Structure 1
Amino acid sequence: MQLLERAQRNCPVCGSSPDRAKIFFDEHIDSSKLNEFSFASRKEPEYLCYQMVQCSSCDLVYVDRPPSQQALAEVYHAADYDSSEEADDAASAYARVIRPALRQLKLGRALEIGTGTGVFLDKLKQLGFETVAGIEPSTAAIAAAPAHRHDWIREGIFVEGDYEPESFDLICCFMTLEHVREPAEITRSVMRLLRPGGAFVTVTHDYRSIVNRLMGRRSPIIDIEHMQLFSARSIAALFDRNGYTNVQVKPFVNRYSLRYWTRLAPLPSGIKSFAQQTIATLGIAGIKIPMNVGNTVALGFKPSNQRA
């Protein structure tokens, strides 16, 4: 299996050697538990992960021996998709959190890396962007998109050369930087694709958040999909080291159904099944509940006097 063919890497944010890092999570891989949803978005947690180490320089937690980018691209291409409701809820939260930043931007062209069904592209159009585009590796996610979004979405992994330099006013990357092998490469590519004064916005998990620290190994962020886990300090370091200015990092609230929160809860399978049946019987599974679950939005700008 290609996912088990791995090579050592340095910290993908600051380049420090893994020799200077400490073990954060021991490896726990069970190939028999991998299926078509293992690399799908917003799945039920499996609690599988590669060994992860904590960088002593920038605070990133990362897989020190990850699969190749090609192997990751192949599994995401083949991943199934069944989270349209949650994707809609997430897109609404992202639209709320970026709205203040839009006052500083020209609402011309926007790109979303890891766009899924393109639901956030609809939000960007509603917010006033003239042109939107998305890139998504999952065939199933694109197939689940309504017809009017198909022309906006390119299938594949993000490649800088597919786009013109300095051609976007906003580039977004939500819950995707954890999944790639080289987040710094993407961050540098985004800088070159932004027009001067344009913005890069990401959403990532914060492994140092209270909820994730309380759950420990039972947190949904401990997952075979995640090649790295950020903290507020390490996501800020990623932006700062790659030339972004006015970098802002803050937590925010997600609003999902009780059904989804129950699916994520670190409960024994029998108790979880009973809870899911109970809320369905009571007719409350679809109630939307706002909660801060340790997600962080980071925003940075390309200097207005900088050219690609």
Structure 2
Amino acid sequence: MRHDPIITARACPLCGAGADQAEPFLADSRDETRLSASSFASRKVPEYMSHAMVCCRACDLAYVDRPPSVESLAASYHAADYDSADEAEDAADAYARALAPVLEKLKGRGAALEIGTGTAAFLDRLEGAGFAELVGVEPSSAAIAAAPDHRRPWIREGIFEEANFAPDSFDLICCFMTLEHVQDPGALVASALRLLKPGGVFVGVTHDRRAWLNRLLGRRSPIVDVEHMQLFSAQSARRLLEHNGYEAVGGASFRNSYRPSYWLRLVPMPGALKHRLTRLLRGSWFDRWHLPLNVGNFMSWGFKPY
């Protein structure tokens, strides 16, 4: 799991501003002895480790200026553990609720693509919303293995590559909690624009680093993560789409709804205490409920011009 960073500092992956426009944001807090297959799993117990990050004064993006190589990141995600199937279903429900007003603006519901689909839980919701063709791309073998049998034909294992799809072929492309993880989010949304039909929409979900809870927690926020190559604000998430040719760009924060035992997983507290409390919660009557909370997740969208 060791990642050797790229020696030469990169420009801002959103706006291209150089090092003269960057200021320190997070110090390198990685401990290689604590890295494991679970370090690159979705919805894991937070480790509060990160690569060194800078913040771009031009566009408000915080990013790793000396990231690991694309190849080493791909290998880490391919080998990542997966143990969050229940939470994936809860997240898919939250995304579907937040996305409903955007889908009303779509003229067609032919093909949909999800980049970083996990167990394809959200593709199930899109099938229920009337989409005729469903495709998901997922690098984690463990996540695909955890998918129900009826979803697996929708999933293609690997890293998203534009060349694997025909231009102008999708009405909807989604990328939930993945834009932070790729080395070049601008290239990803630019590729998505070329794959969308005119009038089609790209929808992303990212953490909002400027949300009140993330600012309050600081380095103890779960968004401080060794997986994250960049951290967006609401402003930079919208600007990513505007900068890459989308129109009618919008965005909104929304609430996620999870069981109390999962919310507890994200709370910064000593690990032994968290483990004991989690064991008490799981299986209790209280843990059957779902608590809706706005914890700083932000949905952004943009349409391909006609």
Task: Show the counterpart of 1:290.
Answer: 292
1:298 alignment partner, SS class? strand
- CA-CA distance at 1:236 after TM superposition: 1.1
2:302 alignment partner, SS class? strand
Long gaps (5+) in structure 2 = none
For the 8 Å contact 1:2–1:67, the answer to whether it is kept is no
2:3 alignment partner, SS class? helix
The 1:250/1:264 distance shift into structure 2, 3 A limit, reads same
Aligned counterpart for 2:239 among listed residues 219, 224, 237: 237
CA distance in 2 between counterparts of 1:166 and 1:16 reads: 30
Paired residue type of 1:222: V
Task: Show the counterpart of 1:48.
Answer: 49
Q: Deviations over 1:61-104 (max 9, x none)?
A: 00010001111111000101000011000000011111111122
2:12 alignment partner, SS class? coil
Aligned counterpart for 2:253 among listed residues 251, 254, 260: 251
For the 8 Å contact 1:86–1:256, the answer to whether it is kept is yes
Task: Show the counterpart of 2:70.
Answer: 69
* Residue 18 (structure 2) pairs with residue 17 (structure 1): yes
2:262 alignment partner, SS class? helix
CA distance in 2 between counterparts of 1:153 and 1:270 reads: 37
- CA-CA distance at 1:2 after TM superposition: 5.2
Task: Show the counterpart of 1:4.
Answer: 4
Task: Show the counterpart of 1:273.
Answer: 275
For the 8 Å contact 2:2–2:32, the answer to whether it is kept is no
- CA-CA distance at 1:287 after TM superposition: 2.0
Aligned counterpart for 1:170 among listed residues 166, 169, 172: 172
CA distance in 1 between counterparts of 2:103 and 2:21 reads: 40
CA distance in 2 between counterparts of 1:119 and 1:238 reads: 26
* Residue 38 (structure 2) pairs with residue 37 (structure 1): yes
Task: Show the counterpart of 1:211.
Answer: 213
Paired residue type of 2:4: L
1:53 alignment partner, SS class? strand
2:11 alignment partner, SS class? coil
Paired residue type of 1:5: P
- CA-CA distance at 1:249 after TM superposition: 1.2
1:37 alignment partner, SS class? helix
Residue correspondences, number = 304
- CA-CA distance at 1:277 after TM superposition: 3.6
CA distance in 1 between counterparts of 2:281 and 2:142 reads: 29
For the 8 Å contact 2:178–2:206, the answer to whether it is kept is yes
CA distance in 1 between counterparts of 2:206 and 2:98 reads: 13
Paired residue type of 1:295: N
* Runs of 4 or more consecutive aligned structure 1 residues displaced over 4 Å after TM superposition: none
Aligned counterpart for 1:153 among listed residues 135, 152, 155: 155
- CA-CA distance at 1:22 after TM superposition: 0.9
Paired residue type of 1:190: A
CA distance in 2 between counterparts of 1:18 and 1:181 reads: 17
2:39 alignment partner, SS class? coil
Query: Normalization by structure 2: what TM-score?
Result: 0.97
1:140 alignment partner, SS class? helix
The 1:131/1:20 distance shift into structure 2, 3 A limit, reads same
Paired residue type of 1:130: A
Task: Show the counterpart of 2:190.
Answer: 188
Aligned counterpart for 1:136 among listed residues 131, 135, 138: 138
2:241 alignment partner, SS class? helix
- CA-CA distance at 1:6 after TM superposition: 2.1
CA distance in 2 between counterparts of 1:104 and 1:277 reads: 44
- CA-CA distance at 1:282 after TM superposition: 4.7
- CA-CA distance at 1:18 after TM superposition: 2.4
- CA-CA distance at 1:285 after TM superposition: 2.5
For the 8 Å contact 2:115–2:137, the answer to whether it is kept is yes
Task: Show the counterpart of 1:110.
Answer: 112
Identity of aligned residues (%): 54
- CA-CA distance at 1:5 after TM superposition: 3.4
1:148 alignment partner, SS class? coil
- CA-CA distance at 1:280 after TM superposition: 3.7
Paired residue type of 1:252: F
Paired residue type of 1:33: R
- CA-CA distance at 1:273 after TM superposition: 2.9
For the 8 Å contact 1:259–1:286, the answer to whether it is kept is no
CA distance in 1 between counterparts of 2:34 and 2:217 reads: 21
1:4 alignment partner, SS class? coil
Which stretch has the larger CA shift, 208-217 or 283-292? 283-292
CA distance in 2 between counterparts of 1:18 and 1:295 reads: 28
- CA-CA distance at 1:115 after TM superposition: 0.2
For the 8 Å contact 2:43–2:84, the answer to whether it is kept is yes
